[in-house]
Every structure is written in structure tokens, then in C-alpha cells.
Amino acid sequence: MINPEELLRQMFQAAIAAAQPALCVPPHLPAAPKGRLVVLGAGKASAAMAKAVEDNWKGELSGLVVTRYGYEVPCARIEIVQAAHPVPDKAGEQAARRMLDLAENLTADDTVLCLISGGGSSLLPLPLEGLTLEDKQAVNRALLVSGAPISEMNTVRRHLSAIKGGRLAAACHPAKVVNLLISDVPGDDPADIASGPTVGDATTCADALAILGKYDIDAPPAVLKILQDGSGESVKPDDARLASVETHLVATPMMALEKSAAVARENGVTPYILGDDIEGEARAVGRDMAALALEVAADTTEYRRPCVLLSGGETTVTVTGDGTGGRNVEFLLALGIALGGRDGIYALAGDTDGVDGMAEVAGALWRPDTAERASQKGINPQKSLENNDGHGFFDALNLCVITGPTRTNVNDFRAVLIL
């Protein structure tokens, strides 16, 4: 078997590679339409998806996609716009408005190819009439630190948007809409991927209002008004304008975990995939995973060493400190503390988009000597965790995992290697 840290890094890279648009987009391209092919898209993978379309489409096409700053890929026929994530900005608002303009005057002979991936919610921040971008930014910031799971966050977003919650698909009617989705959400629900701009939404304004109340979010008055009077209602799945919408999941978290598992097997390590939809507070999930790892190390489970416990999904962080962190390093720090310096256990946690939280860092590694090395530097892991300072902790120990922009996104990757 290769070096444990190198094995974990190779497994993470395999997960990212499995979701590269150049690999997963071409098999799902539609037949050439009688009319035009218009490409619209949003998300961290959308520019790379657009390039994959251009490279494999023989006929005419045009379009517009919006991606995160730094995630652009040059295209010849599809315009690439960059905007902010996770807190939206004016560039994203303008791009969303232009997409709706491109959806006008389409005919039943036209096909709209929609390239949607994680991050699209923040990249398409077009407010409903009566709201401002500042209103949406305020709600978004509050949701990001509330501990709400992504499904609840996106329920709120869909009901404050002029383009999400099926509205873009409705605007494309009567053209055929073909959705190619790269999933970054637990359960792979298309309505939650980028808040579902091109699929129907079964949730309601009342649901969104209840979520704001659940997390005690002080929303702007205009937001509360739209949710209370129902004027923010989304497009429902049975809407006639969505009758010609076709949806394909081209890459999912489970696909990525399976590729990672193959790398483990090739190196004599048995992989156990615990699930691709694990949610909950990151530090609680970390403690639970540590408890399982210790049981495996003690040979009290059916798992046989050497093995690796793989999982995906999207944990949450309720922010109370002022450190620099993200849900993956929060998970890893809590796991490491709970392992108590146990020998023979290594771990890697990272976001497949290359960005954990607000930092340009994918995640980090935990080694058996990490706590001891931290102590030698005068760093207290527990205090770092309490301050939500996972990135600061791992950076000080040179254990950060930095990939740069991966131009894809199938959510979190967690691997605990037990020798």
C-alpha cells in the first residue's frame, strides 16, 4: 500500500475527476433540434460544462452561462460570465436577467440546453419584484451561518427569486428544455440543485416562512411580505409550461465515491461507503465518525482493516466564533479531537469544488500525530474548534488540501483510513 496521506489525496482526486464535465456531459447531449440550440447554465461547473458542449456539438449553438469567479473556461460560442459565491453580487443579478431575456421568443422547434450545477443559487440572484439584491444578500448571509441544511436554504431562495424555482424553465416555454445536472445536494433532488431554476418546486411560501422562523432569521420586511402574501410562489411540478422539460443527472456524489473506492481497492484497502447524503452539524458528524473508526480499529465491527470509511453529503456549521473555517475542516477537527491521537487512523475531508467555506482551500488532512504537533506549536484543537477556525488550525500545521478551482461540484468528500 502507498503512503496513507498520498492514498487519501489520490482518492480525493479520483472523486473530483469522476465529475469532470468533459467526461460526464457528452453522453447526455440531446438530438439536434429543428430550430435553435440555446445553452443556458449556472454553477461552479457550468463553464466547464459549456466547453464540453462546444467540443462535442456539431451544429450551431449560442448561449450564456454564469460561474464562480476563477472558475471560467474559455468558450468560442457560449458566453461565460463570472459572479460571486456564496454571497451573490450585481454581476450574478445581471446575468440572471439576461438569461430570462434569452428565453423570450423561443419556439416549439427550439431546444434549451440547461447546464446546472452546485453554486447556481448564489450565481443567479435575480430578486422578485418588490425585493432588492441587498434583501437577498441579507437573507443569504443569515442562512449561511444558521446551521440550516441546504434543502431548507434553497426552499427560501426559490421563493425570493425571479428565475429559480422553475421560473427559468417556464420562461423558455414552448421550447423543449433539456437539463444536464451535476448534483451537489444530499438526495440528488433536482429542485435543490442551484435551487431548481428549470424544474418544478413542490414547496411553498409558507414552508419558506417557517424556515426563517425556525432559525430565528431577522429577514427584511419586503422578504416577509412576499412570503406572507404568497406572491413569491414558485412554479409547481404540474405546471403545463414544464411539460416538455427533460432532466438528466450526469454526475452525482455517489458516482464520485465509487471512483474513490476503486482507488482504495487498487491499493489493497477495503472501502466502505457509508452514504452520499450525510447531513447534520459538522462537529457532531465528526465525533460520530471518530467513534466508528475507533471501533473498527479495535476490531469490534464487521469492517476489516485496512479499510477506509467513505461518505459524502453536506454537513452544516452553526457559526459562533470568528475564525476562518468551513464544514469540512470543522468535521475533521472534531473527528481528530475525538480520536485522541489514536495511531493508525488518517483522514481527509474536502469539498469537491475546491472551496470549503469562504476560503480558497478544499479541506485538510488529519494524521495520528496532528494533535501532538499542534501542542508543540501552542495550538489548542478544542479552542480552534470552538472558534470555528479549522482553516487556521490546519494551515498552521501545513495540512491544508488545496486543489484550486476544480470546475465541478459533487459536494463533500470524507475519507477515514484505518490501518
pLDDT tens figures, 239-284: 999 999 999 999 999 999 999 999 999 999 999 999 999 999 999 9
> Where do we find the cell 464520485?
256
Domains of the chain: which residue ranges? 4-14+254-418, 31-251
Q: Is the pLDDT score of 112 beyond 80?
A: yes
Rounded Cα distance between 120 and 112, Å, is: 17
Q: What pLDDT, in 10s, does the model give residues 47-67?
A: 999 999 999 999 999 999 999
Q: Classify 179 as helix, strand or coil.
A: strand
Q: What pLDDT, in 10s, does the model give residues 141-182?
A: 999 999 999 999 999 999 999 999 999 999 999 999 999 999
How many Å is the Cα radius of gyration of the chain? 22
CATH architecture of 4-14+254-418: 3-Layer(aba) Sandwich (3.40)
Rounded Cα distance between 375 and 67, Å, is: 41
Q: Can you spell out the DSSP letters for 304-368?
A: -SSEEEEEEE--B----S-S---HHHHHHHHHHHHHTT-TTEEEEEEETTS-BTTBS--EEEE-T
What does the pLDDT read at residue 412? 96
Looking at every residue in the chain, the average pLDDT score rounds to: 96
Give the confidence band of 316 by pLDDT, cuts at 50, 70, 90: very high
Give the confidence band of 1 by pLDDT, cuts at 50, 70, 90: low
- 367, with CB counted inside 10 A (0-12, 13-18, 19+), is middle
- The half-sphere exposure of 24 on its side-chain side, counting CA atoms within 13 A, is 30
What does the pLDDT read at residue 77? 96
Tell me what percent of the residues of the chain surpass a pLDDT of 70.
Answer: 100
Q: What pLDDT, in 10s, does the model give residues 191-213?
A: 999 999 999 999 999 999 999 99
Mean pLDDT of 320-324: 95
CATH number, span 31-251: 3.40.50.10180
What does the pLDDT read at residue 358? 84
Q: Could you tell me how far CA 74 lies from the centroid of its own chain?
A: 23
Q: Is the pLDDT score of 303 beyond 70?
A: yes
